[in-house]
Amino acid sequence: MTALEPTGRLQPYGIMVADDTARVFDAIARHGGRARYVGGIVRDALLKRDLIDVDIACDLLPEETRNALEKVGIRVIPTGLKHGTITAITDAGAYEITTLRVDVQTNGRHAEVAFTDSWLADAKRRDFTFNAIYCDPDGTVYDPFDGETDLREGRVRFIGVAEDRIAEDYLRILRFFRFQAWFGRPPVDPIGAEACRKGAQGLIDISAERIRDEMFKLLRSKSPAGTVGDMIGFSILPVILPQLARTDCLRIMQWLDSTALADPAITPDPLRRLAALFVTGDNGTDDNLAAAERLARQLRLSNEQTDRFASMVAHAPLIDPGLSGEDIRRDLYRMGADAFRDAVLLAWSTRASVPPRCSRTENEEWKSLIDAAANWQPVRLPIQGRDILSAGLVPAGPRIGELLKQAEEYWLDRGFQPDQEELMTYLASLISAGEQETE
């Protein structure tokens, strides 16, 4: 039997009821094809979450789907023709449309695929039961492996024999834990997790970019620390990222960034959470920075991400809940509110995760650092090099930079109060004092 039997209904909403979505489905139907939602959008609709990415399965060949859509003026990008995927672009969003297919040959990383007209065969090649639920545009649900029950009960369950499915594609190990973090209820499914442990060496051949993307997706879930702990316990992380060996700081970080602090500038952030996984209470600072840069390279982080990551790791040990108001202002001025906030959260997580942990008063002190970042108004030194030059204090040259630094120190020491006039007077007095000395 290759057709699927309806198993239930859901009420379409969000992008499912957009006019553009109807145009996509109509175009395919007019061409004699049949299309259904599948994967993330159905899973998320069953949980009534926001619907973002639209995955569609379709029984037309990719070129046919493309023609059907282009004929009615829908833009198509041939994103993965070889694997049967095209992307339709409309004002309402993007639609990943994949022809029904089976994997005919796999090597743990890539699959050679063949197209099929069997919906069941297409379902069987998918990874987890709740990722193989299909849904017609009208909301009729087809759930061949009872993924809905698994979803409701928080169970991430492989379709078929977990070990075999992992050997076909080792990335599924990371997907297993990512979905566990998002939809699973502890404890993790022992059959799946054991199969992941057995297959873990296969992750060595998975590209750094895919590992990074999966880790970031996992770290975006509300409370990933438990699952990361499972990944350590089932010997997954030691294969790919052995430097991430403890979850105690991450536990505090996830509590701070998603529950404890009602600051709109603070939301779960994968890079900050990665830093919390990486920095533990007992790392030495210099080694830490070098290791942070190695980790950033290993995960192919962008330059911007690398700088941010290194800055957190470098600054966190310097942040102390007892910092004076003046020190806080100096840090905020030099680092900017965002980097300061990152460093405070990382320092706080680190400190709170090791005995004697944080007292209520200390937590209040940490909180006041976060408040200082929220209230910070960026300020700029009121003079520039050209002011010094045009006042004729010194000729052009390196001395200008030195004077600017001295003016900045003077200005910082006085709580950003001195204005341009006062700073110029100060510099003039410095210069004449210097001249008197050399006379």
Residues 6+ apart with CB under 8 A from 257: 266, 267, 268, 269, 272, 273, 345
Angle at 173 between CA 168 and CA 176, to 5 degrees: 120
| DSSP category for residue 72 | T
> CA 439 to CA 287: how far, in whole Å?
48
Q: Which does 336 bind (CB under 5 to 8 A by kind): Mg ion, ligand ATP, none?
A: none
Tokens 């004697």 belong to which residue? Answer: 356
Query: CA 19 to CA 278: how far, in whole Å?
Result: 46
Report the residue number, 144 or 418, with the smaller CB distance to ligand ATP.
Answer: 144
Torsion of CA 206, 207, 212, 217, to 10 degrees: -60
Neighbours of 102 (CB within 10 A): 14
Nearer to ligand ATP, 172 or 273 (CB): 172
Contact between 84 and 116 under an 8 Å Cβ cutoff? The reply is: no
Q: Which of the residues 144 through 183 are near ligand ATP (CB under 6 A)?
A: 169, 171-172, 175
List the single partner that 172 binds among Mg ion, ligand ATP, none, CB under 5 to 8 Å by kind.
Answer: ligand ATP
| Residue 90 lies near ligand ATP (rule: CB under 6 A) | no
Q: How far is CA 387 from the centre of its chain?
A: 44
Min CB(263)–ligand ATP separation in Å: 27
Length of the chain: 439
Tell the smallest beta-carbon distance from residue 54 to Mg ion (Å).
8
Amino acid at 139: G
CB closest to Mg ion, residue no: 40
Spatial strand order in the sheet of 85-90: 8-9, 140-142, 134-135, 35-38, 54-58, 93-99, 85-90, 75-80
Tell me the closest approach of the beta carbon of residue 105 to ligand ATP, in angstroms: 14
User: Min. distance of Cβ 40 from Mg ion in angstroms?
Assistant: 4
Task: Please choose which of ligand ATP, Mg ion, none residue 126 contacts, taking the beta carbon within 5 to 8 angstroms, the exact cut-off set by kind.
Answer: ligand ATP
Q: Pick from 14, 39, 202, 418 the residue near ligand ATP by CB under 6 A.
A: 39
Closest approach, Cβ 42 to ligand ATP, in A, equals 8
Q: Mask of contacts with ligand ATP, 326-365, x by CB under 6 A?
A: ----------------------------------------
Question: What's the CA gap between 174 and 227, in Å, rounded?
Answer: 11
Cβ–Cβ < 8 Å for 112, 25: no
Pairwise CA distance, residues 237 & 156, whole Å: 19
- Closest distance of CB 217 from Mg ion, Å: 11
| Shortest separation between residue 171's beta carbon and ligand ATP, angstroms | 5
- From 40, 139, 268, 382, residue interacting with ligand ATP (rule: CB under 6 A): 40
Q: Of these, 101, 126, 246, 273, which contacts ligand ATP (CB under 6 A)?
A: 126
Q: Which of 21, 129, 131, 288 binds ligand ATP (CB under 6 A)?
A: 131
Q: Give the three-class secondary structure for 367.
A: helix
Using CB under 6 A as the binding rule, the residues of this chain from 53 to 72 that contact ligand ATP are 53, 55
Out of 59, 122, 127, 189, point to the residue binding ligand ATP (CB under 6 A): 127
How many chain residues are in contact with Mg ion, going by CB under 5 A? 3
DSSP structural state of residue 182? H
| CB 40, min distance to ligand ATP, A | 3
By CB under 6 A, how many residues form the interface with ligand ATP?
A: 12
Contact pick of 30, 48, 53, 405 for Mg ion (by CB under 5 A)? 53
Q: Are strands 93-99 and 54-58 parallel, antiparallel or unpaired?
A: parallel
With CB under 5 to 8 Å by kind, the binding choice for 205 among Mg ion, ligand ATP, none is none
Q: Say whether residue 55 binds Mg ion (CB under 5 A).
A: yes
Report CA 404 to chain centroid distance, whole Å: 39
Assign 3-class secondary structure to 51-64.
CCCEEEEECCCHHH
Q: Which residues bind Mg ion (CB under 5 A)?
A: 40, 53, 55
Q: Which residues bind ligand ATP (CB under 6 A)?
A: 39-40, 53, 55, 126-127, 131-132, 169, 171-172, 175
